[in-house]
Amino acid sequence: MLFLQRQKSNNKLLLNEVLVNNESNYQDDYGVHSAWIEIFNRSYGSADLAGCYLKFSSQPGDTASYFIPKGDVLTLIKPRQHALFWADGEPRRGTFHTNFKLDATNANWIGLYDSGKKLLDQVIVPAGTLKANQSYARVSDAADQWEVKGGSEDKYVTPSTNNKTIDSNAKMEKFEEHDSVGIGMAISAMSVVFCGLILLYISFKIIGKISVNLSKRNAMKAKGITDKQEAKEKQLGQAPGEVFAAISMAMHEFQSDVHDVEDTILTITRVKRSYSPWSSKIYTLRETPHKSKSPIINKTMKEYKYKINGNVYKVAIGDIEDNIAHVEVNGTPYKVEMEKHRR
């Protein structure tokens, strides 16, 4: 049998389950079977019951009020958790023992108020509805509908725990029913991977275009060119294969002019001394180390002119430091690293 409470509460603290006649059900810390009231924190943050009021009435004009004491850390209910109060009329037994008892013969009205005596939630347990060890509870935690629990195996009393225990995964069972082999899952996984790769390709493509455009813009700014068509004709910000070909030809001609065909000959000459060097101080004193500098070939800048596919390239070769040549092609500087030959 389901009951629908008319008043819907938007507060995070709710009355969740009530057991009126406790003969052999849950017992308190003293081993006594007493009536109890369960409060549920339906929020995802902690809520403190300290300073709140639990009120009870079974007769018109006869209302008992229990002030929940402050200073007890156990009154702080964690997110989506429960607190259980024993309605045994023994408040000296602890914070969670009220000063009133529930009436097993009449209807029981129970209200929860905050410290400002604002009504947070209330419930009326109908008279004659509950048998011994049966509770009046929400169908599930914080649900609007109430029902009697304890009358069957699938509807059992749940003090200080969820009113409805979920022991299965409906989504997994449905997935297993429609895709027992796992083909759908495999296709889904592969689709996710391929979609990710496509997104990466598009991202790199866009980033590449942005980088090229920035390079062209910087080259135009350096040359003082504002016309995009002129920049396109001069191929600013680009280094096509024709440029590399022009540089290669110029470097070849430059090196052919500088170097002749040489043969490496090692000549070993014995040092002759007219004195005995064993006592010479030059062999016992430590010489100051000298920092060697890379050889710099500082020659007059040579220019070469080539015409490739109708495009004219003026290549100027400047200083060569160690194995790095400073080259300009149509005014655009490049650094060319030459591999050192080992003989």
Spatial CA neighbour of 163 closest among 140, 142, 143: 140
* Residue 272: predicted pLDDT: 45
Residue 70 lies in a domain: yes
> Are residues 240 and 117 located together in one domain of the fold?
no
> Are residues 160 and 229 located together in one domain of the fold?
no
Q: What is the extent of the structural domain holding 239?
A: 220-258+293-343
Residue 175 lies in a domain: no
Tell me which of 166, 197, 228 is where a domain ends.
166
Task: Please calculate the CA angle 144-147-148 and round it to the nearest 5 degrees.
Answer: 155
User: What rounded mean pLDDT belongs to the chain?
Assistant: 82
Is residue 33 within 8 Å of residue 25, measured between CB atoms?
Answer: yes
> Are residues 30 and 101 located together in one domain of the fold?
yes
Q: Which of 69-83, 209-223, 266-280, 319-333 has the highest mean pLDDT?
A: 69-83
Per-residue model confidence as pLDDT tens digits over 213-251: 887 777 777 777 777 777 666 666 555 677 788 888 888
Per-residue model confidence as pLDDT tens digits over 135-153: 999 999 999 999 999 988 8
314 vs 242, 250, 291, 327, CA distance in Å?
12, 9, 38, 10
Per-residue model confidence as pLDDT tens digits over 52-109: 999 999 988 889 999 999 999 999 999 999 999 999 999 999 999 999 999 999 999 9
DSSP string, 131-189: -TT-EEEESSTT-SEEEEESSSSSS---TTS-SS---S-HHHHHHHHH-SSSHHHHHHH
**Residue 243, Cβ neighbours under 10 Å: how many?**
20
Q: How many domains does the chain have?
A: 2
CA gap 286, 301 in Å, rounded: 43
CA gap 337, 343 in Å, rounded: 19
Residue 106 lies in a domain: yes
**Exposure on the CB side of residue 146, measured as CA atoms within 13 A:** 23
> Are residues 45 and 142 located together in one domain of the fold?
yes
When pLDDT is averaged across residues 256-261 and rounded to a whole number, the result is 57
Tell me which of 166, 190, 208 is where a domain ends.
166
- Residue 123 sits in a domain of what CATH number? 2.60.40.1260
* Residue 300: predicted pLDDT: 61
Residue 267 lies in a domain: no
* Confidence grade of residue 308 (pLDDT, cut at 50, 70, 90): confident
